[in-house]
């Protein structure tokens, strides 16, 4: 059973989080309304914040300005 979506914003994008069998984050470019072709997910036990963090990482990659420290940690 799904729970209504919660929306966060990050770098000009809306991240809508829903809960079903997992946390699902759909990313929409706020200015154009275009949905990014990928979405972030997290297992329920990982928590909603993990899905949000993953969505923010995807946005950073999409925008092309991911912080360098993330690449050094990989």
The DSSP secondary structure of 9-64, one letter per residue, reads: EETTEEEEEEESSEEEEEEEETTT-PEEEEEEEEETTT-HHHHHHHHHHHHHHHHT
Q: Note the pLDDT tens digit of each residue in 55-67.
A: 999 999 988 865 5
> Which structure tokens are listed for 31?
């200015």
pLDDT higher for 65 or 36? 36
Q: Note the pLDDT tens digit of each residue in 18-28.
A: 999 999 999 99
The model's pTM: 0.78
Q: Has residue 74 got a pLDDT over 50?
A: no
């Amino acid at each position: 059973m799904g729970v209504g979506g919660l929306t966060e914003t990050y770098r000009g994008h809306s991240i809508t989080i829903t809960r079903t069998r997992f946390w699902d984050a759909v990313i929409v470019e706020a200015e154009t309304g275009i949905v990014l072709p990928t979405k972030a997910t997290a297992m329920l036990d990982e928590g909603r914040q993990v899905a949000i963090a993953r969505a923010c990482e995807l946005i950073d990659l999409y925008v092309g300005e991911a912080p360098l420290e993330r690449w050094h940690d990989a």
